[in-house]
Structure 1
Amino acid sequence: MVRSMTGFGRATSEEGKERIISLEMKSVNHRYLDMNIRMPKSFIALEDKIRRVVNEKLNRGKVDIFINYKNYGHNQAEVKLNTMLADSYVKCLSELEERYSDIKNDISLSLISRYPEIITLEEKEDDLDEIWLEVKELLEKALIMMVDMRMVEGEKLSEDIAKKCILIEDWVNQIDSKSDVVVENYRVKLKDRVEELLGDLQVDEARIAMEVAVFADKATIDEEITRLRSHIIQLRNTLALNEPIGRKLDFIVQEINREANTIASKSTDIEITNLVINIKNMIEKIREQIQNIE
């Protein structure tokens, strides 16, 4: 099954829970599997686990993962009193009182409590093991959605590429039917040209035959046509594989383009040249589509 590299997935924990986790992921084409994960700092320890789960489902693509977390539970923070620091502040204030006895003393608990770090608010750490179970479940749901979307898109790409292969195959057949005519046309044109130049003098048929043979050897495209047909069959067979095929398809398309270029370089017939141009234009369209296949 052909899979595209474009996809989207989303999953959110059930409403009514004290904590809500939402996870979104999107992917586009990329040469390798490249993951970018954005999540709360408290979840950093889960990054390797997240990557392993994604690696099991995806092979290529640039994947962006966004995790949002909100905790509505009670008692998620605790007030801490730093008594040692408070003692130090009081001691300093007492020393100031003794040193500057003529200045009014207004030391109070409310004053001391406002000094930095005397009273702090600390959030309780979440249980990462429990968090991971929720994140993993959401990640797997989002991956199912993304993979399904990539498969639907990949099937559309596969069908369109198969249609383009039919067109290329038809143009190859037309080139094949014209290739034999090219040599005969060359022989007739060469003979007419020689007769025009020689006038009443006798034409050396053997020399013309030799020139035609040399031309035929240089202009023959039988091997290129055979390889083109073979590559098209390979492309179709590859589309039917149930595995990542993007790189393999890219190589096959390069080979098809190589054979088309060779035919173009040998061609002296305008119709064959135009057919090769059609093939190359279609190859370029297929190449663009293959860039998005996993």
Structure 2
Amino acid sequence: MLTSMTGFAARTGGADGFSWSWELRSVNGKGFDLRIRMPEWLGAMEAELRKQVGASAARGSISLNLRIAREAGDTGIEINEVALSRILEAISQIEERAGATGVNLTPASASDVMNFRGVMDAPQNREASEDLLNALRADIAPLLASFNEMRAAEGASLHAVLSRQLDEIETLTTSAQGLLGDRAAEMRSNFQAAIARVMDSRAEMDEARLAQEIAVLAVKSDVTEEIDRLHAHISAARDLLTSGAPVGRKLDFLCQEFNREANTLCSKAQNAKLTEIGLALKVLIDQMREQVQNVE
């Protein structure tokens, strides 16, 4: 079955005095592009996140966001002794320099010192505990399972749509094939009538020359190969739909080939019904290609 590049999953959790929310989403992309947004102090997890998401998705523009915060009522604020010593030493030096030059400064208050960056240290700014990391890691597998479940459901819908479109393309191709016999007779009749209008009389027409011109015209307007290739593309596309592998790029290439044959069919048609079938094929192929853009 097919897998869609479009997917979404969300999950919330809490442990070690923290609460968090995961959000994983993906949209169409030419290749695999994973963007992770999470606090810097949890950066140690990024490598394993990339590995696990990469094992689940082969293609798509994917974003993984983690928002995490201390639970209400648990601030966990502590004094960073190193930062405090550095700030107090700097204040002392400034006051000494100011006094030496006769500049009077207002003494710094405790609240002033607390507002300097790094003095009051929250656990979010330190390394995460192993308990917290393990709790976050435990969320990844179910998050990916939910994500892949949605992509598989979307893929099943795409499979049904593409199968139906291939059936319609096959019906049109078979109809075009059925027109070839009548079309050959019609082309011969039209060609004879056109020559007869130019010649003075039917009796003066060179039968050998006529046969030669009709043969040349038949070769130039023969669409048998185009119809055979359309049947081959239909068979190849159906095999891809059931392969179970990421086939989005291959299906996209096949759509280009489908469109090439439909264009040639229209240009060679010289028959109203065949032209109508060629145009209908082009519309269907465009619709199919739009759906293929969602396939992984």
Alignment TM-score, normalising by the size of structure 1? 0.86
After superposition, the C-alpha distances for 1:29-62 in whole angstroms (9 at most, x for unaligned) are: 1011111222122222322221111001111111
Amino acid across the alignment from 1:203: M
Query: Counterpart in 2 of 1:3?
Result: 3
Equivalent in the alignment of 1:199: 201
Specify whether residues 213 and 134 from structure 1 end up closer, same or farther in structure 2 by C-alpha distance, changes over 3 A only: same
- Equivalent position of 2:50 in the other structure: 51
1:132 Cα shift?
Answer: 3.0
2:67 corresponds to: 68
Greater CA deviation, 64-73 or 82-91?
82-91
- More displaced stretch, 275-284 vs 42-51: 42-51
Structure 1 pair 214–117 and aligned structure 2 pair: CA distance change class (3 A): same
CA distance in 2, matches of 1:99, 1:209: 114
Tell me if structure 1 keeps the 8 A contact 2:32–2:58: yes
Mapped partners of 1:255, 1:97: distance in 2:
84
Measured at CA, do residues 96 and 58 of structure 1 come closer, stay the same or move farther in structure 2, by a change above 3 Å? closer
Q: Which residue of 1 aligns with 2:184?
A: 183
**Aligned counterpart, 2:253:** 251
Q: 1:200 to 1:42 in 2, by over 3 A?
A: closer
Q: Which runs of 5+ in 1 are unaligned?
A: none
Q: CA deviation at 1:136?
A: 2.3
Q: Please give the residue correspondences for 1:67-216 in structure 2 after superposition, counting only pairs within 5 Å.
A: 67-72=66-71, 74=74, 76-80=76-80, 82=84, 86=88, 113=110, 116=113, 120-124=119-123, 125-196=126-197, 197-199=199-201, 201-216=203-218
8 Å CA contact retained: 1:187, 1:208: no
% identity of equivalent residues? 28
Using the TM superposition, give the Cα deviation of residue 130 of structure 1 relative to its aligned residue in structure 2, in angstroms.
3.3
Bigger shift: residues 126-135 or 31-40: 126-135
How many pairs are equivalent? 286
Provide the rounded CA distance (Å) in 2 between the counterparts of 1:130 and 1:168.
57
Report the residue type matching 2:225 in the other structure: E
Cα distance in 1, alignment partners of residues 236 and 3 from structure 2: 18
1:13 matched to 2:13? The reply is yes
Equivalences for residues 25-40 of structure 1 within 5 A: 25-40=24-39
Uncovered stretches (5+) of structure 2, i.e. residues with no partner? none
TM-score (norm 2): 0.85
Matched, 1:239 2:241: yes
| Amino acid paired to 1:212 | I
The CA RMSD over aligned residues, in Å, is 2.9
Out of 267, 270, 293, the residue aligned to residue 269 of structure 2 is: 267
1:174-201: per-residue Cα shift (whole Å, max 9, x none)?
Answer: 1111122222112212223334432364
Q: Conserved in 1, the CA contact under 8 Å of 2:41 and 2:128? A: no
Give a deviation string over 1:144-195, Cα, whole Å, max 9, x none. Answer: 1111111111111111111111111111111111122222112212223334
Separation of aligned partners in 1, 2:189 and 2:94? 115
Shift of 1:127: 2.8
How far, CA to CA, are the matches of 1:237 and 1:64 in structure 2? Answer: 31
